[in-house]
Amino acid sequence: MRGALMPDDIKPADLNTTPLDALHRELGARMVPFAGYAMPVQYKPGIMAEHLHTRESAGLFDVSHMGQATLAGPGAIAALERLIPGDIQGLKPGRQRYSLFTNAEGGILDDFMVARIGPEELFLVVNAACKEADFAHVSAHLPADTSLTRHEDRALLALQGPKAVTVLARFAHEAADMAFMDVRDLTIAHVGAVRVSRSGYTGEDGYEISVPGATAEHFARLLLAEAEVAPVGLGARDSLRLEAGLPLYGNDIDTTTTPIEAGLTFAINKRRKMTWDFLGGDILRAQFDAGPTRLRVGIRPDGRAPARAHTDILDAAGTKIGMITSGGFGPSVDAPIAMGYIDRAHAADGTPISLLVRGKPLPARIVPLPFVPHRYAR
């Protein structure tokens, strides 16, 4: 997570709130500032309990701080493809894709989800800290026949875990028929029209649900009333995504990293590799052909001491060869885990390394990502 934490239950006047703010406080959440919003970092059970509950059952996350928008018009797909390496032309209606905004140097401006709702209509969900810049970037490159409409009046809930499908199907049976990365518009009694994608940021099966802000709290209460569901905060969201090997924008990817260095080459779809006709494509093509000088890798420290972001990675001679970008304790693997960037010559699985923690080199090794297998509904 980015941003300094503040004492419990402080809500400065300049922080935004989500439609679930009152519910979070009622549930005893510890609230912290994150991306300009007051957000729950954990509830009374604590981060480890929330993390394990999500892996075993179903966790409910408030991600309403993220940006939602519709891009529509005859020029929507072509305009977006000039800014990203993803193949949106080949995306079928009712399907979603992970993609990246790149800059002229091939760096990553943000990662986001894009769904094709109709022939000329796309639905975007972008990161909270980047949404103003993202939407301005897209708007600056739109033709006159295409528009970007933000959905500030909608909340976004994530229901994650192996029992998420059982729970959501009680409210909308069609949810059980969805495959990973499917997107559907459904209606839930007393909640209204919701947009559901079978996706998430935990490595587990689950859904992200765009809900009218006015009925979001009611819907959240309905879900939390189900025996399988517990509220989960940003702390467990971070440890879950780290175990799943998923990068966090601002930590593991940013404008100084490229999709190829980050191990996200899959987001440069096959058709786009034929032309590389998107922002930064010429630089990324050269890097793809030659290979990057560094790579994002998984790291397992020996012992029980975790290594945090910005920890230097050393080779056997004590020379710096990289840096950790995310690190902590993995509750599901019961061990410290980390990921970061390392010189390609040292990036092979099993390579022994050292991590400079509080001035002392601690042994570790390079391991495959993810640390916990993904359990998506493919």
Helix (H/G/I), strand (E/B), else coil: 319: coil
Helix (H/G/I), strand (E/B), else coil: 26: helix
Q: Does domain 46-290 have CATH number 3.30.420.40?
A: no
Using pLDDT thresholds of 50, 70 and 90, give the confidence band for residue 129.
very high
Q: What percent of the chain has pLDDT over 70?
A: 97
Using pLDDT thresholds of 50, 70 and 90, give the confidence band for residue 300.
very high
Mean predicted lDDT score pLDDT of the chain: 96
Residue 7 pLDDT: 41
The secondary structure element, H or E, covering residue 372 is none
DSSP for 86-116? Answer: S--TTPPTTEEEEEEEE-TTS-EEEEEEEEE
Beta bridge partners of 355: 313, 362
Nearest CA to 217 out of 9, 19, 61 is that of: 19
Comparing 46-290 with 293-367, is the CATH topology the same?
no
Residue 216 pLDDT: 98
Using pLDDT thresholds of 50, 70 and 90, give the confidence band for residue 3.
very low
Residue 1 pLDDT: 34
Q: What is the pLDDT of residues 254-295, one digit of tens each?
A: 999 999 999 999 999 999 999 999 999 999 999 999 999 999
Q: What is the pLDDT of residues 207-228, one digit of tens each?
A: 999 999 999 999 999 999 999 9
Q: What is the mean pLDDT of residues 223-246?
A: 98
Whether the Cβ atoms of residue 258 and residue 106 lie closer than 8 Å to each other = yes
Q: What pTM was estimated for this model as a whole? A: 0.95
Residue 8 pLDDT: 43
Q: Does domain 293-367 have CATH number 2.40.110.20?
A: no
Q: What is the pLDDT of residues 139-167, one digit of tens each?
A: 999 999 999 999 999 999 999 999 999 99
**Cis bond upstream, residue 370 (ω within 30):** yes
- Using the predicted structure, report yes or no on whether residue 5 has a pLDDT greater than 60: no
Q: What is the mean pLDDT of residues 326-335?
A: 98
Q: What is the mean pLDDT of residues 203-208?
A: 98
- Using the predicted structure, report yes or no on whether residue 69 has a pLDDT greater than 90: yes
Sign, CA dihedral 71-101-137-83, equals: negative
Domain spans of the chain, in order of start: 46-290, 293-367
Structure tokens at 154: 């909608």
Using pLDDT thresholds of 50, 70 and 90, give the confidence band for residue 12.
low
Cα–Cα–Cα angle for 229, 169, 156, nearest 5°? 60
Task: Let me know if 350 is exposed, middle or buried by CB neighbors in 10 A (0-12, 13-18, 19+).
Answer: exposed
Beta bridge partners of 296: 341
Using pLDDT thresholds of 50, 70 and 90, give the confidence band for residue 378.
confident
